[in-house]
A = this chain, B = another copy of it.
Amino acid sequence: MNQARQETIPPNPAVLADRFNTLRYDPEADAVVLLNRAKYPHEREYVFCRSVEEVARAIETMIVQGGPPLAYAAGLGLALSDVNESAYRAAAARLLATRPTADDLHHIIPAALQRALQALAAGEDAKAAILHFVNGEIERGNRVSRQCGAHAAELLDDGDQVLTHCIAGAALCWMLWIAKHQGKTIHLIATETRPYLQGARLTAQCAVELGVECTLITDGMPAHLMSQGMVDKFICAADRITLDGHITNKVGTFQMAIAAHYHGVPFYVLGYDGPDPDTESAEGIEIEWRDGREVLYCAGRRSAVEGVKALYPAFDITPPHLISAIVTDRGVFPPHLIRMYATASE
């Protein structure tokens, strides 16, 4: 859709559509304030992190999750460091060590560190330099989300039943909101996404806020619904996109992509600001193994018997031949050509 049409879209009512709703630096408290995504929306708790370590632990325990949001939180967290070079370097290393898979963190922290060290060297306010940079990145991320969502909305048809997995974030909110204001009725089918239930909590809540009908299913049901002709499109996000068109996303995405390909259901990836320029192919992605015990519990209660172990690979990798297109703020790319993002115009 062109810019003129987009300007007629009312403000997006979904909390997750604007990253400043869920994470910000509070100058009075000198704290990074995070909406606790491990509890939201069952509880609306804001967590005040007053040190680099507290921000790092908030990322590790998924109080903030999602590639860009956790990167923004880490960036703001760097501003809580002591103001000297060695402290900044140690803080950056701590924040980078929180989670390995999504690429945003690994771009924002080195860039924010560079701003801090440049400011220090110039005798300027390093903390202000970090906050200026990271807040600018959050603003840019909000614009990217809206543009990506607008391009994705163009791929939807009135009456579509759209399957999604985990929480595809601000771009999903914008896709649904813009499609709605284009007069398209979209029915969202969301996997609950065990073990953290991002689908049953975050995605479902976005749909409720946007006035989009949403049906939840368990993570084992997508292929059956496809076989019954109940899924028109499968759309999710990506924590990292490689230059050769692989995507990594919440574990389960790969299985659903195989099922979509088997059934001829298009699979579109909300690719935000495109591939990671530093990751050529899948070998360059480190899949995070989280604590397997998280699988033994559901909503805080033990769901499994005693005496068994569990595994929790947090992400999986989907190869380009299973992907129909990657949708970015700069338009829609076939996965094998996502490298062209770098030279595309906005």
* A interface, CB within 8 angstroms of B: 41-42, 165, 189-195, 197, 200-201, 204-205, 207-208, 213-225, 227-228, 250-252, 254-256, 258-259, 262, 292, 295-296, 298-313, 316-317
Contact check, B307 vs A201: say whether CB atoms are below 8 A apart: no
Contact check, B301 vs A299: say whether CB atoms are below 8 A apart: yes
Kindly list the 5 A-B residue pairs having the minimum CB-CB distance in the complex, ordered from nearest.
A220-B252, A223-B255, A224-B316, A219-B220, A200-B304
Contact check, A295 vs B192: say whether CB atoms are below 8 A apart: yes
Q: Which residues of B contact A302 (CB under 8 A)?
A: 299
Contact check, B200 vs A307: say whether CB atoms are below 8 A apart: no
CA distance A115 to B304 in the complex (A): 42
Contact check, B303 vs A197: say whether CB atoms are below 8 A apart: yes
- Set B215, B227, B308: member contacting A310, Cβ < 8 A: B215
CA distance A166 to B304 in the complex (A): 13
Closest to A310 in B: B216
Q: A224-B313, A224-B316 are in contact. Are A216 and B308 (CB under 8 A)?
A: yes
Q: Which residues of B contact A223 (CB under 8 A)?
A: 254-255, 258, 316
- Set B42, B254, B300: member contacting A227, Cβ < 8 A: B254
Tallying the copies of this chain within the complex gives 2
Q: A192-B304, A304-B200 are in contact. Are A255 and B259 (CB under 8 A)?
A: yes
Q: Which residues of B contact A309 (CB under 8 A)?
A: 213-216
- Set B193, B200, B216, B303: member contacting A200, Cβ < 8 A: B303
Name 18 A/B residue pairs within 8 A (Cβ), A-sorted.
A197-B298, A200-B304, A201-B303, A204-B304, A204-B305, A215-B311, A218-B251, A218-B295, A220-B220, A221-B252, A224-B251, A225-B313, A227-B316, A255-B259, A298-B299, A299-B299, A299-B303, A300-B301
Shortest CB distance A40–B (Å) = 9
Contact check, B299 vs A224: say whether CB atoms are below 8 A apart: no
Contact check, B219 vs A194: say whether CB atoms are below 8 A apart: yes
Q: A208-B308, A259-B255, A304-B201 are in contact. Are A191 and B216 (CB under 8 A)?
A: no
Contact check, A308 vs B221: say whether CB atoms are below 8 A apart: no
Q: Which residues of B contact A205 (CB under 8 A)?
A: 305
Q: Which residues of B contact A192 (CB under 8 A)?
A: 194, 295, 303-304
Q: Which residues of B contact A195 (CB under 8 A)?
A: 218
Shortest CB distance A65–B (Å) = 16
Contact check, B255 vs A295: say whether CB atoms are below 8 A apart: no
Contact check, A208 vs B307: say whether CB atoms are below 8 A apart: yes
Contact check, A305 vs B254: say whether CB atoms are below 8 A apart: no
Contact check, A258 vs B251: say whether CB atoms are below 8 A apart: no
Contact check, A219 vs B216: say whether CB atoms are below 8 A apart: no
- Set B222, B228, B305, B311: member contacting A201, Cβ < 8 A: B305
Shortest CB distance A291–B (Å) = 13
Contact check, B219 vs A218: say whether CB atoms are below 8 A apart: yes
CA distance A306 to B165 in the complex (A): 18
CA distance A191 to B304 in the complex (A): 11
Shortest CB distance A312–B (Å) = 8
- Set B218, B227, B296: member contacting A194, Cβ < 8 A: B218
Shortest CB distance A158–B (Å) = 20
Shortest CB distance A186–B (Å) = 14
